[in-house]
Amino acid sequence: MILAEFSPWPGLAGGALIGLASAWLLAANGRIAGASGILHGAVAGGAKNARWQLAFLAGLVGAGFLALAANPGAFVPRGSFSLAWVALAGLLVGFGTRMANGCTSGHGVCGLGLRSMRSLVAVLTFMLCGGIATWVMRHALGVAS
């Protein structure tokens, strides 16, 4: 890892925008900006909230495409993982968010801001598991970053 290339500004700007959007959704709709819950609601929740949930999801996907268009070299796919590994990872993330009753956006951004003890435990668990997974990938399996 090259620390000379570290710049905190994009992360700070993105974090501020995420925080503002989450606060706006809570103030305007009384809803928590948890991406996994919003996705589940849009797919299986019926038509009651589907309009804003689909708009939220379209914004997430659209922002990714806008970022790619603005800086095409920023997203370099890793060729070392097969589609099967990526699909398995996605299924495990989905299973984990269901088990934790939410994802990092719901617990980490919104739950911690609301001082939820359940969200604090969930975020600490996410961070611990992420650290263990990183260690296993780098040191036990020898996969370079």
pLDDT single digits (tens) 2-56:
556 778 888 899 889 988 988 998 898 888 888 888 888 888 877 777 888 999 8
> 89-98 contacts: CB < 8 A, separation 24 or more?
94/36, 96/129, 97/36, 98/36
User: Using one digit for the tens of pLDDT, what is the confidence trace for 60-91?
Assistant: 899 889 988 998 877 777 667 788 888 898 88
Distances (CA, A) of 74 to 6, 56, 86: 14, 23, 20
Whether the predicted pLDDT of 145 surpasses 70: no
Measure the CA–CA gap between 136 and 120, rounded to whole angstroms: 24
In the chain, where the domains are located: 13-140
The one-letter amino acid at 87: A
pLDDT at residue 110 is higher than 80: yes
| 78 backbone φψ class: left, alpha, beta (φ>0; ψ -120 to 50) | beta
How far CA 78 is from CA of 45, 60, 67, 109, in Å, comes to 34, 22, 18, 28
At how many degrees (to 10) do helices 50-70 and 35-44 cross? 130
DSSP class per residue in 17-66 = HHHHHHHHHHHHHS----HHHHHHHHHHS-STTHHHHHHHHHHHHHHHHH
